[in-house]
Structure 1
Amino acid sequence: MAGYLLRRMGQALATMLAVSVIVFVILHLLPGGIVRAQLGSKATPLAVHVLEQQEGLLKPLPVQYWIWLKDTLSGNLGFAYKLNQPVSSLIAEYVPRTFMLVGISMLFAISIAVPMGLWQGNRRNKADDHVISATMLILYSMPTFLLAVVLIVVLNLWLPVFPSTASDYGTSFLVDVKDLALPILTLTLANVTYFSRYMRSSVIDNLLEDYVKTARAKGASRGRVLAKHVLRNSLNSTVTLLGLTLPYTVSGSLIVESIFDFPGAGLLFWNSAQTRDFEVLLGVVLVISAATVMGNLLADILYGIVDPRVRSRS
């Protein structure tokens, strides 16, 4: 297990290093350069040269990258000139809410999809299986923004149960449960379709395996076989999909937060894009990328725990 963990951690570290290089290159490919992005297009050549000298932008690129990497690792992600505050303080204010939103929605999606997929696999081609499959297909075909709009119409306009926009929390991390309801419900419904379909297919495949027939021949009930044998073996696909779905869910949160005006990293990214605050955009990209890589690393670790064969092959 230790060797498996070391290999996966090495891959995660290499991925993050590649992401840092990409972000650094994008930072230097900004229209007019970093300094022009800070001072504006009407800045004089003298002002541009002075700021370039102050920020060390006249040094060779490898030296600049090393200095930038050290600053980034120390928590210095630059300065948001449009909002007049450090990017790190903005990240600390907005990103935890996005992690909370994504984490809760993923937890709900898995909690719903696993038993649903197990039920469908056991009841395949029955009436209830067809009804659930049709419902999941409808949700699967709906873009995230359309699903969010439908939920607003139903649960805010027709049935005024939940607010369609979040309150202003300032720098507070705590968020009203009602403000979380619609964003979490949107991301949960968007993800439950993937997990349930994969879980259903995996359950059907495992029910045809010889170990199930052997267990049944020994007198084990169908419910015991499902709970003790089929469930664990079927979770492999769900754990794998967890790592693959995480980037999609995080990117989907940008749309969801923009629609519901939820004060998270997605809304910060959207507002910064409107004001062309590049330092904030790249800071959010870097932090979210790091979180996504760590999420995939966690999924790999869980995959190794669920299926010991993976550790021996990897």
Structure 2
Amino acid sequence: MARYLLRRLLSLAASLVAASLVIFAVIEVVPGDPAAYMLGMNAAPDTVAALRESLGLNVSLPARYANWLGGMLVGDFGISYTYKVPVADLVADRLLISLPLAGLALVLSTAIALPIGLLAAARRGRWPDYAVMGGTQLGIAVPNFWFAMLLVLAFALHWRIFPAGGFPGWDAPLMALRALTLPAVALALPQAAILARVLRSALIETLGQDYIRTARAKGLTGAQALTRHALRNAMIPVLTILGMQFSFLLAGAIIIENVFYIPGLGRLIFQAITQRDLIVVESVVMILVFAVILVTFLTDLAYAAVDPRLRTRG
């Protein structure tokens, strides 16, 4: 098991280095000069040159990459061109919103998907199964930003239960949770539809195994065999989807955060791209890549916790 963990950690480090090279190369090939963009088209050349020097844009690309990568290793992501504050402070402030939003959406999607996935598998070929499959297909097909606007119309404008947008800060926890509820629901429902379908398929495949028939022959009811044996052994694909969903909810909430005017990490990326704040874009994308790779690593560890055979192989 220790050798398996060491191999996974080495693979994680190699993936991060490769991702940093790709991110830096893609960002640097974007046409235009950030200093000239910040100062405007009528800026004097010496003023642009001075700003480029202060931003560290006048050194070679390998030196800029080395400075950027070395700074990230010690937690220094540079200074934002636009906000004139450390990028680490910007990211920390936005993560205080995006992480709870992603976590709340993941909890909601799991709480919705598990019971309906179990119901569809237990009633395979009957009307509850058809109802669940039809509902999940609709949940996958409907764009989450369109569903978000429907939530705003219904629960914010018509019934006035939740705010239509904005974030009041964590000084008022209940108000903050109310502000994150509609965005979390808009993010959670499509993910719940995907998770429910995966869980149903995994459970149906597991229910056909010999050990399930043996458990039934020993006197277990269908519900007991489903929850005690089948569910645990069907969790491998479910854990994969959960890991992917958390990464998506953290990195892919740009549209939802803009619909609800939530000042999270996705909205920060959107603003940095429009303002050509390259250091912010590079750093935030790298942090998101690290989050995706870390979640994948933790998912692999969860595999070993769920399936003892993987620990033996490790």
Cα distance in 1, alignment partners of residues 47 and 199 from structure 2: 60
Amino acid at match of 1:273: I
SS in structure 1 at match of 2:164: coil
Asked if 2 retains the 8 angstrom alpha-carbon contact of 1:12 and 1:293, the reply is yes
Percent of aligned positions with the same letter in both sequences?
A: 32
* Alignment partner of 1:268 is 2:242: no
Q: Distance between the aligned counterparts of 2:171 and 2:35, measured in 1?
A: 32
> Matches of residues 1-314 of structure 1 in structure 2 within 5 Å?
1-33=1-33, 35-36=35-36, 39-50=39-50, 61-169=61-169, 176-311=176-311
Q: Distance in 2 between matches of 1:36 and 1:301?
A: 48
How many Å separate the matches in 2 of 1:173 and 1:82? Answer: 29
Q: Residue type of the partner of 1:243?
A: G
Please state how far the C-alpha of 1:46 moved relative to its aligned partner: 4.2
SS at structure 2 position matched to 1:166: coil
Distance 2:63 2:84 in 1: 27
Q: Distance in 2 between matches of 1:57 and 1:36?
A: 11
CA distance 1:43–1:297, change in 2 (3 Å): farther
Distance 1:58 1:176, change over 3 A: closer
In the alignment of these two chains, the number of paired residues is 313
One-letter identity of the residue aligned with 1:228: R
Shift of 1:173: 9.8
1:180-223 per-residue CA deviation (whole Å, 9 max, x = no partner) reads 11011111112101110000011111111111111111222222
TM-score, normalised relative to structure 1: 0.89
CA contact under 8 A between 1:166 and 1:262: conserved in structure 2? yes
Over 3 Å counting, the alpha-carbon distance change for 1:51 and 1:276 in structure 2 is closer
Relative distance call for 1:56 and 1:91 in structure 2 (3 A) is closer
Q: CA deviation at 1:2?
A: 1.9
For 1:299 and 1:96, the matched residues in 2 are separated by 23
- TM-superposed CA distance for 1:243, in Å, is 2.6
Please give the TM-score of this superposition, normalised by the length of structure 2.
Answer: 0.89
Write the letter of the residue equivalent to 2:105: S
Structure 1 residues 252 and 30, CA, compared in 2 at 3 Å: closer, same or farther?
A: closer
In the aligned structure 2, how far is the partner of 1:82 from the partner of 1:285? 17
Alignment CA distance shift 1:289-1:190 (3 Å):
same
Q: C-alpha distance in 1, partners of 2:26/2:172?
A: 31
List gaps (5 residues or longer) in structure 2. Answer: none
Deviation at 1:244, TM superposition (A): 2.8
CA RMSD of aligned residues (A): 2.5
Amino acid at match of 2:279: E
